[in-house]
Amino acid sequence: MRVIVLIWAAFCLYLSASRNLKSIWNGFHDSYVSPFDRLTEGPFYILQIGCALQAVAMIIVVMRKKKGRPLPLLAGITTGALIVVLPLLILPDCASYRTCQAAYMYLMNDMIDDGAGG
């Protein structure tokens, strides 16, 4: 069980770092940042920090426990996957998914302006 948790923690650290690098290069060549990118920048950083903190917390829990029940660790991984990792994977490419576009348009009462087009 420890190996699974450590692999998950390593994945979360990698995901947080890679998405941080992706967000640094956000925008077009002429430094234009689309309204969608400006709107999602804050939640994106919060998700990155949450992903890194989840990884650190999992490592600490695994290193402190000698032997424990695997159910709380699996619950933590599942919760982190649904609340932090899944949105972190979907958010940058939201404009290309029709379901995500529909949810955005419903919640914001506006079209997604991701800068693509003319």
What pTM does this model have? 0.77
In a domain, 114, yes or no: no
pLDDT digits (tens, 9 = 90+) for 59-117: 888 888 767 677 888 888 899 899 999 988 888 788 788 888 888 889 888 777 766 65
Domain count, the chain: 1
pLDDT in the model for residue 110: 79
Residue type, 4: I
In a domain, 69, yes or no: yes
Pick the closest to residue 13 from 66, 73, 62, 55 (CA basis): 55
Tokens 């991701």 sit at which residue?
114
Query: Where residue 28 falls among pLDDT bands split at 50, 70, 90?
Result: low
Lowest-confidence range among 8-17, 22-31, 80-89?
22-31
Domain of 79 in residue numbering reads as 2-25+32-108
Distance in angstroms (rounded) separating the CA atoms of residues 12 and 81? 9
